[in-house]
Amino acid sequence: MEIKIKNLQKIVRKIFLKKKFNKQHSDICSKALINAELVGAPSHGLSRLKMYCDRIDKKLINPKPKIKIRKISNSISFIDANNSIGFVAADTAIKTLIKNTKKTGIGLVGVKNSGHYGLSGYYVEQAVKKNLMVWCFTNAPPAIAPFGAKKTLFGTNPICFGTPSGGKAPFILDTSVSMINRGIIRVAARLGKKIPAGVALDKSGNSTTNAKKALRGVQLPIAGFRGSGLAWMVDILSGVITGAAHGGKVRDPFDDFRGPQNVGHLFLAIKPNIFIGKNYIKRIKENIRIIKKLPRAKGFDAISYPGENKAKRFSKNSKKKINLPREIEKDLEKLVSASS
Amino acid sequence: MEIKIKNLQKIVRKIFLKKKFNKQHSDICSKALINAELVGAPSHGLSRLKMYCDRIDKKLINPKPKIKIRKISNSISFIDANNSIGFVAADTAIKTLIKNTKKTGIGLVGVKNSGHYGLSGYYVEQAVKKNLMVWCFTNAPPAIAPFGAKKTLFGTNPICFGTPSGGKAPFILDTSVSMINRGIIRVAARLGKKIPAGVALDKSGNSTTNAKKALRGVQLPIAGFRGSGLAWMVDILSGVITGAAHGGKVRDPFDDFRGPQNVGHLFLAIKPNIFIGKNYIKRIKENIRIIKKLPRAKGFDAISYPGENKAKRFSKNSKKKINLPREIEKDLEKLVSASS
């Protein structure tokens, strides 16, 4: 199905409104989900809408959260998201972070009792647009085996970092520490497609390209103990320090309906001009220019900085209709009719 | 040669004193170098002493630096290290960071005009011992090709993160974003040993296990664009934001004597009890306990957290004499006699 972005936004907003979300929260959720489609990350877009709605119906996501923001200092805030949907928790957190950082040059916001919030880059971009340098960390349900273990425990635990680039597209590195995003495997499983070799093992520990088998098995971390160590760091930052779930206890939103997810996030930002003033923009532009001009390896038309291609996809996709797979279309139809 | 740690420390301290370093700075340098030997990272230890001395002789490292610490806020400081040796710059920075973070709960220190400072973990450990959670970033001379390029530009740009673990050994992840540390290749080259396959390419782009060829070629980043993106992030944090060298302009300390290195560092810390008080230590202990108890993969006697094995090596090695390769012994003999 091809559909205009505006119309799709209306449908998604309507679904959240019918689930008793207020207007502002419905707006935040529909924008975040459709942004994922526009940047070319459908694994974090509408393919998850049914899951979110299931969790709302089962009272595992709170449609009317009382989000508490505790101010610890001018720089630091702590948020209890009261089992709100992750989008709303993260939106509250990034706005609080921006305020704190603008005031003092450095800001930190911890979040507990949250849920899956979609793409980290979406929140990072909001802060970068306010001329900040920012990190977002979040933990996630078990997907990766710690180095030396044969059982999954860490989530794909992304590290996301952004900074103004001095150009049109912000510099946004949004990388999970697994060889592949779990969302990509999920979409492949739903659509019956294969996944690349070398990114996951099945339940018995054999390499597999079957997405369904991979979901029941283990995803491989990048670079052995290095990737495993980074995933561990993200679990500490997101879960241990905030009082959220950690150590493999974040619930899988698709499979585990025994309770709320209790995902944790940590957002951190600094003013990039704190040390050298306006020169920062001059220097980051120079840095990017130097690297983009390097001689290219075989098979590469250009050397891109992180976030550059995503921004291009966003700008291209924003001008046309969105093409939804039949599976997703069915979800939308059901959700709209069920909730009207 | 087998030598007592105390005696080795005296010799190294003497070498720096003769190079016109003051007592405090000589002490800082000898401790950092010998710590690298004790934790089992000789690539960052005495194998570099001759290089440091060469650069002092050529007036590229300033033996009597006037280090300027500019206070930007109670949380944030900016250090111009005046081409001091990296050890002294990093020691000043970590002590400033600890002070700032203790005061406000979050601290940030940028450093420019510094040099290679050895192991990031050495400084991180100082802050962790003061009950802080800390990151150290530093850039380094070109070693890794950015994703899509066929020329090296990024350094091995380590990411180092530490936190109190609640146990004897602190949790310290100290990972370069290359498949192998450049220092390990250097030591292999000096000793005529091979390096593992799959970690480096020679000048022509072919895989090599010859350490000398690898030094003239390209090191491979972990996980393609992910590792390349992390290296880029570290270059921005260390070089671009601080006013230090960046974009491949940090000089190789071994090969490039045209000027000071102008390495940049960024140190960042938070109080880990900022959100949940004393519970942090209880929770990090629980986190580590859960993960260490997972079923082990084949070939693993134990699941270790980052920094655990290093602490064990340190404790074991601290009880015995240090065994120096003949090459390093020769360096020490020459440096002591030349400078006496």
- Assess contact for B219 and B152: CB atoms under 8 A: yes
Which residue type occupies B116? H
* Average pLDDT of span B227-244: 97
- Residues of B with Cβ-Cβ distance to A131 under 8 angstroms: none
Question: What pLDDT does B88 receive?
Answer: 98
Over residues B224-245, mean pLDDT: 95
Taking an 8 Å cut-off on Cβ atoms, the answer to whether B272 and A241 are in contact is yes
Arithmetic mean of pLDDT, B209-215 = 93
Mean per-residue pLDDT of chain B = 94
Whether the pTM exceeds 0.90: the reply is yes
Fold of B2-178+221-276+314-338: Ribosomal Protein S8; Chain: A, domain 1 (3.30.1370)
pLDDT band per the 50, 70, 90 thresholds, residue B224: confident
Nearest-angstrom CA–CA distance, B195 and B189? 9
Chain A residues lying within 8 Å of B270, measured CB to CB:
108
CB-based contact B297 A150, cutoff 8 Å: yes
For residues B198 and A127, the model is more confident at A127
pLDDT at B198: 76
| Mean pLDDT per 10-residue segment, chain A (340 residues) | 94 97 98 97 93 97 98 98 98 98 98 97 98 98 89 93 97 90 88 88 83 88 88 98 98 96 98 98 98 89 96 96 92 82
How high is the ipTM of this complex?
0.94
Q: Assess whether pLDDT exceeds 70 at residue B340.
A: no
What letter represents residue A224's amino acid? G
Q: How many angstroms away from the CA of A296 is the closest CA of chain B? A: 4
| Weakest-pLDDT range from A126-140, A319-333, B88-102, B260-274 | A319-333
Identify which of A232, A234, A242 has the alpha carbon closest to the alpha carbon of residue A139. A234
Is the Cβ pair A283, B240 closer than 8 Å? yes
**Can you give the residue ranges of every domain in chain A?**
65-178+221-276, 279-306
pLDDT tens-place string over residues B20-35: 999 999 999 999 999 9
Question: Residue B129's pLDDT is what?
Answer: 98
Residue B120, pLDDT > 80, answer yes
A180, A275, A285, A308, best to mutate vs chain B, most B CBs in 10 Å: A275
Q: Give the pLDDT confidence score for residue A323 in this predicted structure.
A: 92
Distances in Å between the alpha carbon of A67 and those of A81, A259, B100? Answer: 5, 18, 31
CA distance A338 to B88: 67
At B184, is the pLDDT very low, low, confident or very high (cuts 50, 70, 90)? confident
Strands B133-138 and B263-270 come out as antiparallel
Does the pLDDT of residue B173 top 80, yes or no?
yes
Is residue A285 classed as helix, strand or coil in its secondary structure? helix
AA identity, residue A19: K
**What is the predicted pLDDT for the residue at A200?**
84
Provide the sign of the torsion angle of the four alpha carbons A191, A195, A200, A202, taken in this order.
positive
Closest by CA position to B174, among listed B29, B310, B37: B310
Angle formed at CA A77 by CA B134 and CA B173, multiple of 5 degrees: 20
What average pLDDT does the segment B75-103 reach? 98
Burial class for B190, CB neighbours closer than 10 Å (0-12, 13-18, 19+): middle
Per CATH, is A65-178+221-276 categorized as 3.30.750.24? no
Question: Per residue in B293-308, pLDDT tens?
Answer: 998 887 889 999 999 9
- Number of inter-chain CB pairs under 8 A, A vs B: 209
Which residues in chain A are closer than 8 Å to B291, comparing Cβ atoms? 146, 149, 153, 232, 247-248
Mutate to test the interface with A, among B102, B240, B249, B305 (most CBs of A within 10 A): B240
Contact across the interface for A72 and B291, Cβ inside 8 Å: no
Dist CA A242 CA A91 (whole Å): 17
Report the pLDDT value the prediction gives residue A204, as an integer from 0 to 100.
77
pLDDT, residue A111, reads 98
Q: In what order do the strands lie in the sheet with A76-80?
A: A68-71, A76-80, A106-114, A263-270, A133-138, A159-163, A171-175
Q: How far apart are CA B25 and CA B2, in angstroms?
A: 26
CA separation, residue B18 to residues B7, B37, B53, B61 (Å): 17, 22, 10, 14
Of B52, B88, B87, which is closest to residue B67 (Cα–Cα)?
A: B88
Q: Which residues of B touch A242 (CB under 8 A)?
A: 275-276
Judge: B276–A246 Cβ closer than 8 Å, yes or no. Answer: no
